[in-house]
């Protein structure tokens, strides 16, 4: 954070990426986007000019760039209370009307959340009835997610969350084996999960869901973009489907708020009540 | 005559603190003038996985409500904001907050440097930054950003701090305007309040 970058330079970067690669970061939240840029410049030891040149002349650089730009900090069973609400209220609510249903994990990063859901569903004995679709714009992180393996050093925190979630097993260890410094998830957990590349900003609506999880993703967007993305979520949900956002996010300031009902305010779960 | 060179152009007060800062903050919040004319934005190191309890503890004696803002929540004067657990808290252009789950900085999330640095970027010379007791260097760089943009900087008198690493880090990185004890910080805030009456 020692060097600084001005708004004009940030604009040059987003414009170039948009024109050349079609990714649109122009409506990302300024404060975090700026920090991500400074971080990339520092990590790669580049000046703004050199980075612009690299982006312009080396198409292979874009994936590396996206991988550093997107925030891939996540945990299994982050906010254990949220997962209890899923198990005790939301999933049973969906099951009242549908025996089989689909869940979208939008902005899935390295997959911790979608696999938390897979474990939860397996503990409820309904894993086979639920299709999980997990998307992200970062292809490198999707590859990691698909492998279903996490650094073993992260498992301590994941385990703590799981214990506080009060899962039906004594330990998360039941769900993975250690292999070369990694925690490799049991194959069965990956069965109904599919990963695909999808950019929330420029991507089309591709399916209809009963539940969408998009937690701590839209915090990186400005309000204009949040409104656009929420419109897509609204369209991608069946009527009376659920939307879950991060515990410190809110629909209050969003255009679409009136089409949703707050189901759980503490954990920020909403229900679509109007088309 | 005030011993501080003050005016009524300030838009916000931002406070950072870590180990040993809790009592001082409780005292400041309890003795703050009613209807304080500026928002107070606090980034305090706290337990990462305990979401509840801290804001309540800070609110007990506070003269104004302490809130943990949501992402994109508008910033209002007279309110006291606290960075939520496990999130970084930034100030955005357009007078609202933004949260993020980026990597920890100085082993901290919330990181004081992020709240102070983003506030400095938005409020520039119209910001007062206060850094209290703490056991790591987080906040030092943020104070430098505030100073570099022309804001007013205060650190808690190191001899009064339970752990003085944090204010000393700031003193080493930039020229801090005032080094004050908690009681003097309270007097300072009262003087600042008078500028707006």
Residue A265 burial by Cβ neighbours in a 10 Å radius (0-12, 13-18, 19+): exposed
Residue bearing tokens 């900085």: B105
Check whether residue A86 and residue A56 sit in a common domain.
Answer: no
pLDDT of residue B117: 96
Q: CA-to-CA distance for B97 and B73, rounded, in angstroms?
A: 5
ipTM of model: 0.92
Domain span at A22: 7-69
In degrees rounded to 5, what are phi and psi of residue A133? -115, 125
B contact set with A (CB within 8 A): 49, 51, 68-74, 84, 87, 90-93, 98-103, 113-114, 117-118, 121, 141, 145
Task: Pick the last residue of a domain from A16, A36, A69.
Answer: A69
Nearest CA in chain B to A161: B49
Nearest 5°: the CA angle A235, A144, A63 is: 75
Q: Tell me whether A2 touches chain B (CB under 8 Å).
A: yes
Q: Tell me whether A160 touches chain B (CB under 8 Å).
A: yes
User: Best residue in B52, B54, B74, B99 to probe A by mutation, most A CBs within 10 Å?
Assistant: B99
Is the backbone peptide bond immediately before B178 cis, with ω within 30 degrees of 0? no
Beta strands across the sheet bearing A176-179: A149-151, A182-185, A176-179
CB A113 within 8 A of CB A105: yes
pLDDT of residue A211: 98
Q: CA-to-CA distance for A80 and B52, rounded, in angstroms?
A: 13
Given an 8 Å threshold on Cβ–Cβ distance, is A71 in contact with B73?
Answer: no
Over residues A30-40, the pLDDT tens digits come to 999 999 999 99
Chain B contact set for A159 (CB, 8 A)? none
pLDDT of residue B1: 54
Helical spans, DSSP H, in chain A:
7-21, 30-43, 48-57, 61-69, 80-85, 91-95, 112-123, 139-147, 155-165, 223-236
> In this complex, which of A32, A222, A223 lies closest to B90 when CB atoms are compared?
A32
Q: Tell me whether A29 touches chain B (CB under 8 Å).
A: yes
Residues A25-46, mean pLDDT to the nearest whole number: 95
Indicate the average pLDDT of chain A: 95
Residues B169-192, mean pLDDT to the nearest whole number: 97
Check whether residue A49 and residue A93 sit in a common domain.
Answer: no
Check whether residue A226 and residue A159 sit in a common domain.
Answer: yes
Work out the minimum CA distance from A272 to partner chain B, whole angstroms. 21
> In this complex, which of A81, A219, A253 lies closest to B100 when CB atoms are compared?
A219
Percent of chain B with pLDDT over 70: 99
pLDDT of residue A58: 95
Residue A181 burial by Cβ neighbours in a 10 Å radius (0-12, 13-18, 19+): exposed
Percent of chain B with pLDDT over 90: 92
Check whether residue A218 and residue A161 sit in a common domain.
Answer: yes
CB A189 within 8 A of CB A175: yes
* A2 within a domain of the structure (yes/no): no
Task: Pick the last residue of a domain from A19, A39, A69.
Answer: A69
Overall domain count for chain A: 2
Question: CA-CA-CA-CA torsion for A12, A13, A17, A23, nearest 10 degrees?
Answer: -110
CB A231 within 8 A of CB A259: no
Decide if pLDDT at B111 tops 50: yes
Domains of chain B: 12-194 (3.40.50.180)
Q: Tell me whether A197 touches chain B (CB under 8 Å).
A: no
Check whether residue A54 and residue A93 sit in a common domain.
Answer: no
Q: Tell me whether A11 touches chain B (CB under 8 Å).
A: no
Over residues A60-117, the pLDDT tens digits come to 999 999 999 999 889 999 999 999 999 999 999 999 999 999 999 999 999 999 999 9
Q: A52-56, A68-72, B8-12: which range is least confident on average? A: A68-72
Chain A contact set for B141 (CB, 8 A)? 1-2
Chain A contact set for B91 (CB, 8 A)? 31
Work out the minimum CA distance from B88 to partner chain A, whole angstroms. 10
Q: Name the pLDDT band for A20 (thresholds 50, 70, 90).
A: very high
> In this complex, which of B70, B90, B102 lies closest to A248 when CB atoms are compared?
B70
Decide if pLDDT at B154 tops 50: yes
Check whether residue A216 and residue A254 sit in a common domain.
Answer: yes
Answer left, alpha or beta for residue B95, where phi above 0 means left and psi between -120 and 50 means alpha: left
Decide if pLDDT at A1 tops 50: no
Q: What is the DSSP letter of B21?
A: -
Indicate the average pLDDT of chain B: 95
pLDDT of residue B48: 76
Q: Tell me whether A252 touches chain B (CB under 8 Å).
A: yes
* A112 within a domain of the structure (yes/no): yes
Given an 8 Å threshold on Cβ–Cβ distance, is B141 in contact with A252?
Answer: no
Check whether residue A15 and residue A142 sit in a common domain.
Answer: no
Q: Which of the residues of B are catalytic?
A: 18, 45, 138
Check whether residue A105 and residue A195 sit in a common domain.
Answer: yes
Given an 8 Å threshold on Cβ–Cβ distance, is A31 in contact with B68?
Answer: no
Chain A contact set for B114 (CB, 8 A)? 35
Check whether residue A60 and residue A109 sit in a common domain.
Answer: no
Check whether residue A15 and residue A95 sit in a common domain.
Answer: no
* A219 within a domain of the structure (yes/no): yes
Q: Name the pLDDT band for A2 (thresholds 50, 70, 90).
A: very low
Q: A204-208, B53-57, B164-168: which range is least confident on average? A: B53-57
CB B11 within 8 A of CB B38: yes
Q: Are strands A182-185 and A176-179 parallel, antiparallel or unpaired?
A: antiparallel
CB B113 within 8 A of CB B45: no
* A39 within a domain of the structure (yes/no): yes
> In this complex, which of B87, B92, B145 lies closest to A30 when CB atoms are compared?
B92
Check whether residue A129 and residue A11 sit in a common domain.
Answer: no
Q: Tell me whether A30 touches chain B (CB under 8 Å).
A: yes
Decide if pLDDT at B24 tops 90: yes
Chain B contact set for A35 (CB, 8 A)? 100, 102, 114
How many Cα atoms are found within 13 Å in the side-chain-facing hemisphere of A187? 0
Work out the minimum CA distance from A31 to partner chain B, whole angstroms. 6
- Distances in Å between the Cα of A149 and the Cα atoms of A144, A159, A179, A187 are 7, 15, 9, 11
Residues A251-262, mean pLDDT to the nearest whole number: 94
CB B3 within 8 A of CB B118: no
Residue pairs between chains A and B whose CB atoms are closer than 8 Å: 74
Q: Number of helices (H) and strands (E) in chain A: give both, helices first.
A: 10, 10
Check whether residue A112 and residue A41 sit in a common domain.
Answer: no
């Amino acid at each position: 954070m020692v060097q600084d970058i001005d708004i004009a330079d940030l604009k040059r970067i987003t414009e170039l990426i948009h024109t050349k690669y079609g990714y649109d970061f122009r409506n990302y939240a300024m404060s975090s986007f700026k920090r991500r840029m400074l971080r990339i410049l520092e990590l790669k030891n580049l000046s703004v000019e050199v980075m612009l040149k690299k982006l312009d002349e080396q198409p292979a650089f874009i994936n590396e760039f996206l991988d550093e730009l997107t925030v891939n900090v996540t945990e299994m069973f982050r906010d254990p209370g949220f997962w209890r609400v899923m198990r005790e209220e939301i999933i049973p609510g969906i099951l009242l009307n549908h025996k089989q249903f689909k869940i979208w994990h939008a902005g899935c990063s390295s997959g911790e959340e979608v696999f938390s859901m897979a474990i939860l569903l397996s503990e409820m004995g309904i894993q086979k009835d639920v299709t999980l679709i997990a998307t992200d714009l970062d292809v490198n992180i999707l590859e990691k997610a698909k492998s279903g393996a996490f650094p073993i050093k992260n498992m301590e925190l994941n385990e703590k969350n799981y214990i506080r979630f009060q899962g039906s097993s004594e330990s998360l260890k039941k769900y993975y084996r250690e292999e070369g410094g990694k925690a490799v998830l049991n194959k069965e957990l990956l069965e109904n999960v599919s990963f695909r590349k999808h950019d929330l900003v420029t991507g089309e609506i591709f399916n209809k869901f009963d539940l969408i999880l998009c937690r701590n993703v839209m915090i990186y967007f400005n309000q204009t973009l949040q409104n656009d993305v929420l419109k897509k979520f609204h369209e991608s949900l069946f009527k009376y489907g659920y939307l879950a956002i991060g515990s410190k996010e809110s629909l209050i300031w969003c255009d679409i708020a009136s089409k949703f009902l707050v189901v759980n305010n503490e954990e920020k779960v909403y229900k679509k009540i109007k088309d | 005559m005030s011993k501080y060179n003050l005016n009524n152009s300030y838009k916000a007060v931002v406070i950072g603190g870590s180990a040993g800062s809790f009592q001082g903050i409780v005292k400041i919040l309890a003795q703050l003038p009613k209807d304080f004319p500026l928002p107070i934005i606090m980034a305090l190191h706290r337990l990462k996985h305990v979401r509840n309890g801290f804001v309540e503890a800070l609110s007990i004696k506070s003269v104004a409500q302490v809130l943990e803002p949501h992402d994109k929540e508008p910033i209002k004067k007279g309110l006291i904001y606290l960075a939520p657990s496990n999130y970084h808290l930034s100030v955005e252009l357009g007078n609202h907050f933004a949260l993020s789950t980026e990597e920890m900085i100085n082993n901290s999330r919330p990181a004081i440097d992020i709240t102070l640095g983003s506030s400095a970027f938005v409020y520039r010379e119209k910001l007062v930054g206060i850094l209290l007791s703490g056991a790591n260097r987080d906040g030092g760089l943020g104070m430098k950003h505030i100073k570099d943009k022309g804001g007013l900087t205060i650190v808690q008198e190191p001899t009064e701090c339970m752990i003085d690493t944090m204010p000393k880090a700031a003193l080493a990185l930039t020229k801090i305007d005032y080094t004050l004890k908690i009681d003097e910080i309270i007097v300072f805030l009262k003087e600042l309040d008078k500028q707006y009456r």
